[in-house]
Amino acid sequence: MRIAMIGTGYVGLVSGACFSDFGHEVVCVDKDARKIELLHQNVMPIYEPGLAELVASNVKAGRLSFTTDLAEGVRDADAVFIAVGTPSRRGDGHADLSYVYAAAREIAENLTGPSVIVTKSTVPVGTGDEVERIIAEVAPTSGAKVVSNPEFLREGAAIEDFKRPDRVVVGTDDEDARQVMRDIYRPLSLNQGAPLLFTGRRTSELIKYAANAFLAVKITFINEIADLCESVGADVQEVSRGIGMDNRIGGKFLHAGPGYGGSCFPKDTLALLKTAADNETPLRIVEATVQVNDNRKRAMGRKVIKAMGGDAHGKTVAVLGLTFKPNTDDMRDAPSLSVIAALQDAGATVRAYDPEGVEQARPMLPGVEFSASPYAAAEGADALVIVTEWDEFRALDLGRMAKTLRTPLLVDLRNIYPAAEAERAGLELVSVGKPRKG
Ligand code: UDX
């Protein structure tokens, strides 16, 4: 199969690299000449474990290439994937579809045969209809079919998720287009038995939003249960285990923490609420989730201040982990931004360490001092706060930390450390959703 991938963001680049690894011939197209130039030099625009190696080996095998020339990419393609960004539109939270529609128009202008046009970007219900209208207007005789094929990969585990998905959702009623999609995903269904779920196009578009919203609800639910655990003296990790063992609930996405962030959950929940409002079908549970999660991030800053005795003035706080989750350099809607803002507003000085996110974080965090190691950040500080659970924070020398800090206080917002371990090291530990001592 010959595939064109329009957009080399997270989803486009990972999908393009993985499709070429399946043996397809893939051309990745991006308007950003600098990005394409760097990709030619095997420099990845994002931090994603294993991606540079995957790209290099497929480029070497002659199956994967990069260009700024959309016409070249689209020429003779069996399928053209649209994987451009759909950011929240400023002001109203609607998904901004201008990049998707511009790509559709340009693809239509350059089609050379009856290609399948696939929207992989997360797009609101009905976007496929508009893409189809654009194609029909610009290239009425092309015979192109428009398909929805949302992507469920997670940052930091993107390649694994792409290659071993729980399911692949394909939205189209057209049998020829379904066959093209079967051929593209054949290596997956052969090796892993990953089911291809065929649905209507609008249904497929909604599945993506409903999945993300459901996961956001699940996380927010356990976060509120964590608060209740603190009030009544229960342990949220055991509650998670206890409810997660019920197959109907499932154990994943039940880790209490500082609230969800990232490029998907915040943006997609808002876009879903817009669709719901436009169609006069309110989604109250998702509305509450968005509100509770927004409040939670700053509340975590207040939790740190409370742990320091209620006053942050003149105090120094060491923050470990800035990115919205580990194994990424992505700072979008990261809880650390709100936690740090709350601390600074209360008069604290913040020192921070992150393994990969500093370059992205620096311009977003004025007044923060960046350290070269967790211990350097902790030097003379009044509290050590774990905001993101990078693996390297799981094996800190807590005894050394206790001596490095001015006040031996660890606020563990990801529940990495058990109370006994912190106690042995001489650290006072404040976790999320745990019974308080004494
Ligand atoms: C998410 C979806 O998982 C993925 O299917 C979709 O394609 C894109 O959005 P991603 O944003 O990369 O992926 O990360 P994910 O691992 O889902 O985490 C999202 C946020 O939820 C992070 O801030 C994470 O820390 C938080 N989270 C996740 C929790 O607080 N608790 C959990 O149990 C799980």
Q: What is the pLDDT of residues 138-155, one digit of tens each?
A: 999 999 999 999 999 999
Residue 89's pLDDT band (boundaries 50, 70, 90)?
confident
- 437 or 242: which carries more pLDDT confidence? 242
Residues 186 and 159 in one domain: yes
| Domain containing residue 143 | 2-199
Residue 194's pLDDT band (boundaries 50, 70, 90)?
confident
Q: Is the CB of 256 under 6 A from ligand 1?
A: no
What is the reported pLDDT for 53?
98
Residues 413 and 335 in one domain: yes
Query: pTM value?
Result: 0.95
Q: What is the pLDDT of residues 335-378, one digit of tens each?
A: 999 999 999 999 999 999 999 999 999 999 999 999 999 999 99
Q: Find the mean pLDDT for residues 323-334.
A: 95
Q: Find the mean pLDDT for residues 163-183.
A: 96
What is the reported pLDDT for 87?
87
Residue 437's pLDDT band (boundaries 50, 70, 90)?
low
Q: Find the mean pLDDT for residues 101-117.
A: 95
Residue 189 above 80 pLDDT? Answer: no
Ligand 1 mutation target, pool 10, 151, 167, 215, most atoms within 8 A of CB? 215
- Across the chain, what does the average pLDDT equal? 96
CATH number of residue 88's parent domain: 3.40.50.720
Residues 271 and 174 in one domain: no
Which string of b and e fits 50-74 if b means at least 16 CB within 10 Å?
ebeebbeebbeeebbbbbeebeebb
How many angstroms does the Cα of residue 359 sit away from the middle of ligand 1? 22
Residues 298 and 394 in one domain: yes
Q: Of 141, 175, 199, which residue sits at a domain end?
A: 199
Q: What is the pLDDT of residues 366-419, one digit of tens each?
A: 999 999 999 999 999 999 999 999 999 999 999 999 999 999 999 999 999 999
Residue 191's pLDDT band (boundaries 50, 70, 90)?
low
255 is in an annotated binding site: yes
How many angstroms does the Cα of residue 348 sit away from the middle of ligand 1? 29
Q: Find the mean pLDDT for residues 44-72.
A: 97
Residues 301 and 328 in one domain: yes
Q: How far apart are the first and last CA of the chain?
A: 65
* Ligand 1: residue whose CA is nearest its atom 26: 260
Q: Is the CB of 353 under 6 A from ligand 1?
A: no
* Ligand 1: residue whose CA is nearest its atom 33: 253
Q: For residue 370, give every residue at least 6 positions away whose Cβ sits within 8 Å of its Cβ, in sequence order, or none.
A: 351, 352, 353, 358, 361, 362
How many angstroms does the Cα of residue 173 sit away from the middle of ligand 1? 31
* Ligand 1: residue whose CA is nearest its atom 24: 260
Instruction: Give the nearest ligand 1 atom to 389 CA.
Output: 25
How many angstroms does the Cα of residue 154 sit away from the middle of ligand 1? 7
Question: Which residues are known to be catalytic?
Answer: 264
Instruction: Confirm whether the ipTM is greater than 0.90.
Output: yes
Residues 192 and 205 in one domain: no
Q: Find the mean pLDDT for residues 205-209.
A: 98
Residues 130 and 245 in one domain: no
Residues 194 and 324 in one domain: no
* Ligand 1: residue whose CA is nearest its atom 3: 154
Residues 51 and 136 in one domain: yes
Residue 438 above 60 pLDDT? Answer: no
Residues 156 and 250 in one domain: no
Residues 270 and 349 in one domain: yes
Q: Of 184, 199, 214, which residue sits at a domain end?
A: 199
- Whether 384 and 353 have beta carbons less than 8 Å apart is answered as no
Give the Å distances, CA to CA, from 213 to 58, 209, 256: 35, 6, 17
Total domain count for the chain? 2
Residues 237 and 357 in one domain: yes
Instruction: Give the nearest ligand 1 atom to 259 CA.
Output: 30
Q: Of 199, 214, 241, which residue sits at a domain end?
A: 199
